[in-house]
Amino acid sequence: MQNFMDRSASPRIGGGLTPADISSALIAQELYLHYQAQVDAVTGKLRGFEALMRWNSPTLGAVAPGEFIPLVESSEVIHEIWDYLLQHVSEDRVAHGIPADLHVALNLSANQLIRPGLSGAFENWLKAAHIDCSQVHVEITESALLQMGQSLERNLWHMRDLGVSIWLDDFGTGFSSLRHLRDLPITGLKIDQSFVCDLEDNLDDFRIVSAIVAMANSLGLAVIAEGVESISQARMLTQLGCDMLQGYLIGRPVAMAEALQAWSAPRPPGRRG
Ligand code: G
Ligand code: G
Ligand code: MN
């Protein structure tokens, strides 16, 4: 949430852009997906990709989701974005023959999660797309849990019952209570990149990450670290017990064709040694 707020302050798109503009962009097929690798921390093996929306605006150029998602989060357009995302993920899977043992991680905002019927429609999509639910991750922000209510809980449990795993995104920056970790069907935590970027130099960040991993381990939760940019960060995170790593060191978000090509090369991208 904090990320969203910080980045939404962009003056570039502050000038009167409305959810309707994003809706038109969807119709004009100006939005597209990039995928960023998530790898096993110990072996470096590719585990899956996070799907990240991008907007190629004819007037503004490339617009990051941190800039336009906040604009539409409390409008109907966020649901159109979800439908668009699902459609493109299925198309990419078919078009590129994505190996079945790789997961895809999808981001869901608070307003999507509180919509009754979200998980039912999601189930229909999973069936129609013939996607193995155990290879689908849903990333929700801690702030989404502030809107805790019957619909949100029902959606989360239904998705979990389908076999989809649920990850708390940007962990450590939001407002989730430990009660959520105990009572909700959470598979794992994504340590926010703000704790990762200074890990080598900032002892407090090191202690926070250690504490998050220790807590996750004792609660039986998995941990992904995001924003991993250096080998020394990757080493530290692995030693601390993170299960998966994601970040520019391993791979930038790119089109699916490019991502698969990079990972099928004899020497895949990412950490060595
Ligand atoms: O790539 P970038 O750092 O700009 O992404 C910013 C944030 O936008 C990410 O943390 C991600 O959670 C969010 N985001 C990206 N794609 C989607 C999407 O399709 N739906 C939602 N709700 N959020 C997305
Ligand atoms: O939803 P989530 O917060 O996980 O999205 C990750 C976002 O962080 C993406 O928008 C992506 O572009 C960005 N990102 C991914 N890896 C790195 C990294 O190594 N460094 C930085 N600064 N940003 C990253
Ligand atoms: Mn995410």
pLDDT in tens, 74-97: 899 999 999 999 999 999 999 998
User: Considering only CA atoms, which residue is closest to atom 23 of ligand 2?
Assistant: 227
Enter the tokens of residue 138. Answer: 């849903």
Please, which pLDDT band fits residue 179 given cuts at 50, 70 and 90? confident
pLDDT at 78: 94
Q: How many angstroms does the Cα of residue 4 sit away from the middle of ligand 2? A: 12
**pLDDT higher than threshold 90 for residue 177:** no
Are the beta carbons of 140 and 111 closer than 8 angstroms?
A: no
pLDDT at 5: 37
pLDDT at 266: 77
Q: How many angstroms does the Cα of residue 238 sit away from the middle of ligand 2? A: 19
Are the beta carbons of 193 and 226 closer than 8 angstroms?
A: yes
Number of Cβ within 10 Å of residue 211's Cβ equals 12
pLDDT at 2: 36
User: Considering only CA atoms, which residue is closest to atom 7 of ligand 1?
Assistant: 66
Q: How many angstroms does the Cα of residue 152 sit away from the middle of ligand 3? A: 18
User: Rg of the Cα trace of the chain?
Assistant: 18
Tell whether ligand 1 has an atom less than 6 A from the beta carbon of residue 81.
yes
Q: How many angstroms does the Cα of residue 107 sit away from the middle of ligand 3? A: 5
pTM of the model: 0.93
| Average pLDDT value for residue range 109-113 | 90
**pLDDT higher than threshold 60 for residue 13:** no
Q: How many angstroms does the Cα of residue 227 sit away from the middle of ligand 2? A: 5
* For the CA of 170, the nearest atom of ligand 1: 10
pLDDT at 149: 84
Tell whether ligand 2 has an atom less than 6 A from the beta carbon of residue 169.
yes
Please, which pLDDT band fits residue 271 given cuts at 50, 70 and 90? low
Q: Which of 54, 69, 193, 194 to mutate to test the pocket of ligand 2 (most atoms within 8 A of CB)?
A: 193
pLDDT digits (tens, 9 = 90+) for 197-213: 999 999 999 999 999 99
Query: Could you tell me which of 201, 147, 194, 200 has the C-alpha nearest to residue 169?
Result: 194
Q: Which long-range contacts (CB under 8 A, 24 or more apart) does 176-180 make?
A: 176/142, 176/145, 177/145, 180/142, 180/145, 180/148
pLDDT at 225: 98
* For the CA of 249, the nearest atom of ligand 2: 19
| Average pLDDT value for residue range 14-33 | 90
pLDDT at 122: 96
pLDDT at 265: 80
> Which ligand is nearest the CA of 167, by number?
3
